[in-house]
Amino acid sequence: MAAAAEVVHRQGVERTTIADIARAADVPTGNVYYYFKTKDDLVAAALAEHGGQLERITAELDRLPDPRERLKALVRGWVDQRELAARYGCPTGTLAAELGKRTPDGGLDAEAGKLLRTLLDWVEGQFRELELPDPDGLALALVGAYQGMSLLANALRDPDIMTREGNRLTAWLDAL
Amino acid sequence: MAAAAEVVHRQGVERTTIADIARAADVPTGNVYYYFKTKDDLVAAALAEHGGQLERITAELDRLPDPRERLKALVRGWVDQRELAARYGCPTGTLAAELGKRTPDGGLDAEAGKLLRTLLDWVEGQFRELELPDPDGLALALVGAYQGMSLLANALRDPDIMTREGNRLTAWLDAL
DNA sequence: GTCTATAAGCGGATAGAC
DNA sequence: GTCTATCCGCTTATAGAC
């Protein structure tokens, strides 16, 4: 599952073969099918892995006493990951974008949406605790800014974009 | 080229077959290869098509006398396309994200980056005309917000996100 | 549970008639 | 310049030995 999450993030779902993931996990290709009946099952596992990552991050942030500090630390974490974002984009965002282009699709696209929804809800909770007006609108702005800066940093292969936008978001959080 | 641009936007590069595009253009599959030697040539053509679209939009906006009005009209245009964005994302953004995951890649990913660079430069020019400080930082914020709201609207299949974020961006432009 | 060999099908690309 | 038929490689998935 860890190998699947990493390889799928780097190569995208469609360009990743079972053989790629098997090689990364150091198991024979055919062996994978003992644990995952189809490729989509593996993609779902990769999504779950990213979900766990997200959960660990917010759990860690929750230990901070002040909601504003939690949000600023979240932004700091994004900026810290700038090299990865500039190379491969936000794992959840790029995955959601790719899966969203599938027609019917076994619900994997909705699963990716749920991950982003989880992040949005957590951020909204922080704004709510700060008793700011329109907390869900603010959450949309913050998470949207993250997705946008990740995409631009990735498209232009420029990690500095993450730093610059991170500074702007931090100032914005302070001014709210 | 028009068929390629549309189908690739809807299905993504990897899930689009030559046969898909040929069907949309109402020509036999093999025929495509008379005009495009490889599938990547066709993708490049789709990118160029989106580039032309972008050029037409900014040329139209340039007819407005006030740079601030140009930017607000740009945002209005984004919101008007909310249904398309919620279903398939921003054409340039999703294409750039997908192509960015290719390793070496014949330079198609850089081509997608150039399109976004063009938009960024045009937006920066407007901020510069308004004599605002840090015009390229502001451009990054505006275009980033667009990419972010498109991705979220797409992932959550919710066009209202485009409307809400559009309102916020318009107010932000007015307050600058 | 682990691994090798292989089947089945799809999709990019080409040959060659018209 | 248009179209049909087809080749070939790759990838998903399975069969079956160990």
Instruction: Residue A115: give its domain's CATH number.
Output: 1.10.357.10
Asked if residue A22 is part of any domain, the answer here is no
Instruction: Give percent of chain A with pLDDT exceeding 90.
Output: 97
pLDDT band, very low/low/confident/very high, at A105 (cuts 50, 70, 90): confident
pLDDT at site B105: 82
Q: Among residues B144, B108, B110, B96, which one has the least CA distance to residue B124? A: B144
Query: Measured between CA atoms, how close is A64 to chain B, in angstroms?
Result: 27
Query: What pLDDT, in 10s, does the model give residues A107-135?
Result: 999 999 999 999 999 999 999 999 999 99
Find out whether B151 and A154 touch, Cβ atoms under 8 Å. Answer: no
Average pLDDT, chain B: 97
Asked if residue A10 is part of any domain, the answer here is no
CA-nearest residue of chain B to A10? B101
pLDDT band, very low/low/confident/very high, at B67 (cuts 50, 70, 90): very high
Take residue A109 and report the two structure tokens written for it.
């696209």
Q: Among residues A36, A74, A69, A82, which one has the least CA distance to residue A56? A: A74
Nucleic strand D near CB of residue A35 (< 7 Å): no
Distance of CA A75 to the CA centre of its chain: 13
Query: What pLDDT, in 10s, does the model give residues A26-78?
Result: 999 999 999 999 999 999 999 999 999 999 999 999 999 999 999 999 999 99
Asked if residue A7 is part of any domain, the answer here is no
Average pLDDT, chain A: 97
pLDDT at site B95: 98
Residues 14-43 of B, Cβ under 7 A from nucleic strand D: 27-31, 34
Taking an 8 Å Cβ-Cβ cutoff, which residues of chain A contact chain B? 10-12, 14-15, 88-89, 93-94, 96-98, 100-103, 109, 112-113, 116-117, 120, 137, 140-141, 143-149, 151-152, 154-157, 161, 164-165, 168
CA of B154 to C1' of C17 (A): 47
Take residue B68 and report the two structure tokens written for it.
């601030």
Q: Among residues A88, A64, A111, which one has the least CA distance to residue A15? A: A88
- 3-class secondary structure, A133: coil
pLDDT at site B103: 85
Closest CB to B137 among A94, A152, A168: A168
Burial of A169 (0-12, 13-18, 19+ CB in 10 A): buried
* CB within 8 Å of A133: residues ≥ 6 apart: none
Rounded Cα gap, residues A176 and A130, in angstroms:
10
Contact B144 A151 (CB under 8 A): yes
Question: Residue A139: is its pLDDT beyond 90?
Answer: yes
Rounded Cα gap, residues A26 and A74, in angstroms:
34
Containing structural domain, residue B93: 2-175
Instruction: Give percent of chain A with pLDDT exceeding 70.
Output: 100
Question: Residue A9: is its pLDDT beyond 90?
Answer: yes
Question: Residue B104: is its pLDDT beyond 80?
Answer: no
Cα dihedral sign, B7-B9-B10-B14: positive
**Region B21-48 average pLDDT:** 96
Instruction: Give percent of chain B with pLDDT exceeding 90.
Output: 97
Take residue B61 and report the two structure tokens written for it.
């906006």
Place of tokens 């960015």: B100
Find out whether B99 and B109 touch, Cβ atoms under 8 Å. Answer: yes
What distances in angstroms separate CA B82 from CA A31, A117, B9, B11, one per listed residue? 44, 19, 15, 18
Rounded Cα gap, residues B129 and B139, in angstroms:
12
Query: What pLDDT, in 10s, does the model give residues B110-150?
Result: 999 999 999 999 999 999 999 999 999 999 999 999 999 99
pLDDT band, very low/low/confident/very high, at A106 (cuts 50, 70, 90): confident
End-to-end CA gap in chain B: 40
Question: Residue A20: is its pLDDT beyond 90?
Answer: yes
Q: How many domains does chain B have?
A: 1
pLDDT at site B106: 85
